[in-house]
């Protein structure tokens, strides 16, 4: 994740975030790392595992915080989203390439809906989520099998 932060600092979106004092804040850098790590374990929350315990525990704490600050509607959405992987089977939809792109989308959509000036910062968090999710799929071999199937002409 630290490599990711260094790389984005040279990109236009990283420059926009730097204008907002983004990369000088160590708490923000830790948050980027944390988001990346959460999305690294996300594909395995569809099974009873340590990843599920961590993710649901974090979602619970965030849900309580949202309720405490009066964001009950956001807390309800978070609760619904947290339950989705539990109703599927292991290596189901959470291990799909499309899920890697769609699951972290609220990181982009919510800031855009409420304060679109935060979109450049949200894009950085979305990138961290994508890298985390991709690394899980890659090391599980899903991405590797997809690339092999594409080169073999098998599009399943």
Give the range among 22-31, 77-86, 94-103 with minimum mean pLDDT. 22-31
Supply the pLDDT for residue 100.
92
Residue 19 scores a pLDDT above 80: no
**By the 8 A CB rule, do 94 and 45 touch?**
yes
Q: Which pTM does this prediction carry?
A: 0.70
Give the range among 24-28, 75-79, 112-116 with minimum mean pLDDT. 24-28
Supply the pLDDT for residue 126.
93
Confidence of residue 52 (pLDDT cuts 50, 70, 90): confident
Provide the 3-class DSSP secondary structure of residue 21.
coil
Q: How far apart, in Å, are the Cα atoms of 125 and each of 49, 60, 146?
A: 25, 20, 26
């Amino acid at each position: 994740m630290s490599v990711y932060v260094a790389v984005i600092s040279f990109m236009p979106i990283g420059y926009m975030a730097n204008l907002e004092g983004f990369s000088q804040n160590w708490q923000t850098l830790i948050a980027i790392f944390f988001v990346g790590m959460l999305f690294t374990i996300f594909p395995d929350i569809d099974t009873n595992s340590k990843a599920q315990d961590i993710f649901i525990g974090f979602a619970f704490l965030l849900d309580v915080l949202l309720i405490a600050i009066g964001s009950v509607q956001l807390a309800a959405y978070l609760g619904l989203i947290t339950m989705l992987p539990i109703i599927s089977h292991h290596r189901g939809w959470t291990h799909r390439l499309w899920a890697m792109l769609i699951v972290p989308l609220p990181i982009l959509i919510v800031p855009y809906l409420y304060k679109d000036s935060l979109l450049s910062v949200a894009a950085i968090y979305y990138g961290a989520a994508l890298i985390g999710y991709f690394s899980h799929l890659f090391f599980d071999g899903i991405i590797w099998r997809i690339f092999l199937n594409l080169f073999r002409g098998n599009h399943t």
